[in-house]
Structures are given as C-alpha cells and as structure tokens.
Amino acid sequence: MNKAELIELIATGADISKAAAGKALDSTIDAITNAVAKGDSVTLVGFGTFKSSDRAARTGKNPKTGEAIKIAATTVPKFSAGAGFKAAVAPKKKKK
C-alpha cells in the first residue's frame, strides 16, 4: 500500500474528502517526526511506540576491499509494535 492508497482508505473510513485525509495524514506524520527528533516518544496505545535510539560507534568492513572502517555513533528512529498490532498481524492459533 502506498500513501495515496492509505489516504483513500482514511477518506472512506472517516467519510471525509481525500484532501482532508491527506492533510490529516501529513500532519500526523509531521507531529510524530518532530516529537521523535526532539527525543520524545510517541505512544499510540494498541498500535505501537515511536522513539529515538542511540547507536554506538563501531567498526565495520568495506565489502569491496575488506578494509576495516569506523562507523560513527548516531541516533536512529525506532518503532516498537503494540500488542494489538502484533495480534492483528499474527493472530495466535487456538489450542485444541
């Protein structure tokens, strides 16, 4: 599913125009991005949590030459799926 298809589903589900659904989606993505960039976490109960995580400096290997290279420490975005999302994606099988 791409962004246009998601906007169409949001518009249909919320009974609003595609333009309004697009603005709502863009605003939501911007709010999550800005909060995580500031170091805050965003939790959507049942869906998941967006947060930033520090990645330590490490030594890697150039795949072309095999030479060791230094990879600098950085901050990366991280998403942890919530219980409701996990259950929807991979429902548990019923035991007999």
Q: Would the pTM of this model clear 0.75, i.e. be above it?
A: yes
pLDDT digits (tens, 9 = 90+) for 48-87: 999 999 999 999 999 999 999 999 999 999 999 999 999 9
Say if CB 4 and CB 25 are below 8 A apart. Answer: no
- Sign for the CA dihedral angle at 55, 75, 45, 7 comes to negative
Q: In this structure, are 46 and 93 located in the same domain?
A: yes
Q: In this structure, are 51 and 28 located in the same domain?
A: no
Closest CA to 51 of 25, 81, 73: 81
Q: How many folded domains does the chain comprise?
A: 2
Q: In this structure, are 17 and 27 located in the same domain?
A: yes
Confidence of residue 92 (pLDDT cuts 50, 70, 90): confident
Q: For residue 96, what pLDDT is reported? A: 65
Q: In this structure, are 61 and 47 located in the same domain?
A: yes
Domain that holds residue 1: 1-39
Q: In this structure, are 49 and 85 located in the same domain?
A: yes
Q: In this structure, are 64 and 86 located in the same domain?
A: yes
If one compares 25 and 92, the residue with the highest pLDDT of the two is 25
Q: In this structure, are 32 and 61 located in the same domain?
A: no
